[in-house]
Amino acid sequence: MREKLEQILVKALEEVNVADTKETLEAARVKYLGKKGELTAILRGMGQLSAEERPIVGQVANEVRAKIEAAIEGAAERAEAHELENKLKKETIDVTMPGKKIVFGKKHPLTTVLDEVTDIFTGMGYSVAEGPEVELVHYNFDMLNAPKTHPSREPQDTFYIDDEIVLRTQTSPMQARIMEQTQPPIRIIAPGRVFRNDEVDATHSPMFHQIEGLVIDKGITMGDLKGTLEVFAKELYGEETSVRFRPSYFPFTEPSAEMDISCFKCGGKGCPMCKYEGWIEVLGCGMVHPNVLRNCGIDPEVYSGFAFGVGLERITLFRYKIDDMRLLFENDVRFLSQF
Ligand code: DAH
């Protein structure tokens, strides 16, 4: 029996020593130490031994088991190191290979110009407000003093969701929303998308962006409006830019005006850019109508203010001398990445 045990030990150690993977080691462990293993079988047969022999053989068997276990443990460490080494060899990195090029994105020209406009106005103490694109008729028209018969209310011009809800046609409803919520002094700009039932062409799109401006305080005059918008035009288009105001009409302002800037291309002499007029129209503006102030719970005897609305696409096209608005929405990266 003792000899048998020693044979097992020798055989087991031989096998363990050549095993170089976890799998072959596990196979060896099962073969000798497992439930049906060779050593286990001997231990089972010990019942047949005499009372004197049993402890001696038992001791030897335990020693054999311990030696095999220790050998397997040592071999397992070697096998692991071996496997790691193989893996590292297989996964070598060729450091001379050219790297993957990272393509950096760029801001869309509309975003760049909106950021600039935002900087100009926040620099003058304005905050930025945002509001819903799906808007109540109440805010889009009624609160803004738009007569029930105003042509912009027609479904040919406006996308109606139902009788009371529209896709906002202008950012002006933000004037009413802000004035309802905030006590003067108010100084905000409200940029965002607006929607009109227009066919797509070089100067129209059913979706475009506006930036609304609103100032309400005691003693605000048309002089404040003109000074503010002149600063805006000069900062956006250059110090040499001059502005002019032409009378106009909007339901929510009285008086109302349109602001032109001197053509940045010809300086006012006349060229194709300004259609030989020397001036380019950039925004609508005016003094907030007393009815609108009253609708929002602000006393027109105490407060006054001005408002303006700028088309973001328009000022962006001028800014980069792009002649077709569709180019801004087609999202051809080759085109957009030039700006
Ligand atoms: N909401 C006007 C439009 O879409 C633009 C506008 C004009 C806004 C005058 C104003 C303003 O705030 O005072 O045509």
Q: Mind listing the pLDDT tens digit for each residue in 161-182?
A: 999 999 999 999 999 999 999 9
For residue 95, report the phi and psi dihedrals to the nearest 5 degrees. Answer: -70, -10
Residue ranges around ligand 1 (CB below 6 Å) = 170, 172, 212, 250, 253, 284-286, 307-309
CA distance 279 to 271: 10
* Alpha carbon of 292 to ligand 1 centroid (Å): 13
Could you tell me which residues come within 8 angstroms of residue 291 by beta carbon, excluding any fewer than 6 positions away?
145
CA distance 277 to 262: 9
User: Per-residue pLDDT averaged across 254-269, rounded?
Assistant: 93
CA distance 186 to 216: 5
Closest CA to 19 of 74, 62, 64: 74
Q: Mind listing the pLDDT tens digit for each residue in 190-226?
A: 999 999 999 999 889 999 999 999 999 999 999 999 9
Mean pLDDT value across the chain: 92
For residue 255, report the phi and psi dihedrals to the nearest 5 degrees. Answer: -70, 165
Which residues face 283 on adjacent strands? Answer: 259, 310
269 burial level (CB within 10 Å; 0-12, 13-18, 19+)? exposed
> Which residue's CA is the closest to the ligand 1 atom numbered 5?
309
Whether 280 has a pLDDT exceeding 80, the answer reads yes
What percentage of the chain exceeds 90 in pLDDT?
63
* Alpha carbon of 210 to ligand 1 centroid (Å): 9
Q: Are strands 127-128 and 186-195 parallel, antiparallel or unpaired?
A: parallel
Whether 283 has a pLDDT exceeding 80, the answer reads yes
**pLDDT (0 to 100) of residue 320:** 92
Q: Which atom of ligand 1 is nearest to the CA of 194?
A: 4
Higher pLDDT, 185 or 78: 185
CA distance 92 to 100: 17
The least confident of 5-14, 108-117, 168-177, 192-201 is: 5-14
**pLDDT (0 to 100) of residue 95:** 87
Residue 188's pLDDT band, with cuts at 50, 70 and 90, is very high
User: Per-residue pLDDT averaged across 118-122, rounded?
Assistant: 98
* Alpha carbon of 131 to ligand 1 centroid (Å): 16
**pLDDT (0 to 100) of residue 257:** 98
> Which residue's CA is the closest to the ligand 1 atom numbered 7?
284
Highest mean pLDDT among 75-89, 97-111, 294-308: 294-308
Higher pLDDT, 335 or 76: 335
* Alpha carbon of 336 to ligand 1 centroid (Å): 28
User: Per-residue pLDDT averaged across 106-134, rounded?
Assistant: 97
**pLDDT (0 to 100) of residue 232:** 97
- Looking up tokens 């719970």, which residue turns up? 297
Q: What is the DSSP letter of 183?
A: P
**pLDDT (0 to 100) of residue 42:** 79
Q: Mind listing the pLDDT tens digit for each residue in 43-52?
A: 788 888 888 8
**pLDDT (0 to 100) of residue 262:** 94
**pLDDT (0 to 100) of residue 243:** 96
Residue 134's pLDDT band, with cuts at 50, 70 and 90, is very high
Could you tell me which residues come within 8 angstroms of residue 157 by beta carbon, excluding any fewer than 6 positions away?
151, 169, 196, 197
> Which residue's CA is the closest to the ligand 1 atom numbered 2?
309
Mutation choice for ligand 1 from 152, 170, 211, CB with most ligand atoms inside 8 A = 170
Q: CATH number of the domain at 109-336, please?
A: 3.30.930.10
Q: Which atom of ligand 1 is nearest to the CA of 253?
A: 13
* Alpha carbon of 118 to ligand 1 centroid (Å): 18
The least confident of 21-30, 107-116, 195-204, 316-325 is: 21-30
User: Per-residue pLDDT averaged across 301-320, rounded?
Assistant: 96
Q: Are 281 and 274 within 8 A, CB to CB?
A: no
**pLDDT (0 to 100) of residue 171:** 98
* Alpha carbon of 88 to ligand 1 centroid (Å): 68
* Alpha carbon of 9 to ligand 1 centroid (Å): 97
Q: Which atom of ligand 1 is nearest to the CA of 175?
A: 12
* Alpha carbon of 30 to ligand 1 centroid (Å): 86
> Which residue's CA is the closest to the ligand 1 atom numbered 8?
309
Q: Are 283 and 258 within 8 A, CB to CB?
A: yes
Residue 299's pLDDT band, with cuts at 50, 70 and 90, is very high
**pLDDT (0 to 100) of residue 92:** 83
pTM surpassing 0.75?
no
Please give the angle made by the CA atoms of 129, 158 and 143, to the nearest 5 degrees. 50
Whether 235 has a pLDDT exceeding 90, the answer reads yes
* Alpha carbon of 263 to ligand 1 centroid (Å): 22
The least confident of 23-27, 139-143, 200-204 is: 23-27
Mutation choice for ligand 1 from 145, 198, 226, 250, CB with most ligand atoms inside 8 A = 250
User: Which string of DSSP letters, residue by residue, matches 265-284?
Assistant: TTTTS--GGGTTSSEEEEEE
> Which residue's CA is the closest to the ligand 1 atom numbered 4?
170
Mutation choice for ligand 1 from 222, 285, 304, 313, CB with most ligand atoms inside 8 A = 285
> Which residue's CA is the closest to the ligand 1 atom numbered 12?
308
Q: Are 200 and 206 within 8 A, CB to CB?
A: yes
Q: Are 229 and 264 within 8 A, CB to CB?
A: no
Q: Are 167 and 304 within 8 A, CB to CB?
A: no
CA distance 43 to 55: 11
* Alpha carbon of 321 to ligand 1 centroid (Å): 24
CA distance 115 to 124: 14
Q: Mind listing the pLDDT tens digit for each residue in 32-65?
A: 888 888 888 877 888 888 888 888 888 888 888 8
**pLDDT (0 to 100) of residue 14:** 84
